[in-house]
Amino acid sequence: KGNDLFFKLWKKVTAGMSLLDANKEDGMEKLVKELPKQQRVQLKESPLYHIYHRGLEEIESRLGGKAKIKMDGLSARSMQAIRASMDASLVHENHRLNNGIVFLTIGIEGGPYVGLLGTVVGVMITFALIAKTGEVEVNSIAPGIASALLATVFGLLVAIPALFIYSYLSGRIKNTLSS
């Protein structure tokens, strides 16, 4: 939502790039005073805004600060430094967005194994009971096997939704960072 809001505001920029700067009273407030506070918070959390803001800070530092802006423009070396700064910010945002994804991958990869372990242990217990009682009839085996397979079901109930959520979030993150 923050990125969508950023793009809408970006289209309205007419008075220079610093107009979107949320830390300056005459920038963000002037442009988005009709926006509710929640949308301002969303904008400040937007990965694209963070990258933009880092680039803006680098430009201002290269030009000698807002009060001393020269109209000479930026040298090629300064442009490379600004690009490097924004690339570093992009990497940081990528790490920030992918921070919790590891828990989904643990669920995807570990869930079926935990279920399999439960199934194997349950079958082993069932066979141990068969060996102890000496009875091999379906009525004595079926409940043990059914409870053993229940562990597999729970493992898959963890892994399958985690896989779909992971795929969805990964796609959203890639789309966000490639825009």
Contacts of 24 (CB under 8 A, 6+ apart): 18
At 157, the pLDDT band (50, 70, 90 cuts) reads: very high
How many residues make up the chain in this entry? 179
What is the reported pLDDT for 1? 78
What is the reported pLDDT for 12? 66
Helix (H, G, I), strand (E, B) or coil at 76: helix
Residue, of 48 and 162, whose pLDDT is higher: 162
At 172, the pLDDT band (50, 70, 90 cuts) reads: confident
pLDDT tens digits, one per residue of 101-134? 989 999 999 999 999 998 898 888 888 888 888 8
- Token pair 């796609």: residue: 171
What is the reported pLDDT for 161? 94
The full DSSP string for 2-71 is HHHHHHHHHHH--S-GGGG-TTSTTTHHHHHTTS-HHHHHHHHH-HHHHHHHHHHHHHHHHTT-GGG--T
pLDDT tens digits, one per residue of 7-46? 777 666 645 555 545 455 555 545 656 677 788 788 778 8
pLDDT tens digits, one per residue of 64-107? 765 444 556 677 888 888 889 888 988 898 888 888 898 999 99
11 to 36, 96, 120, 151, 175: CA distances (angstroms)? 19, 26, 60, 54, 19
Average pLDDT, the chain: 79
- Token pair 């008075």: residue: 15
What is the reported pLDDT for 37? 78
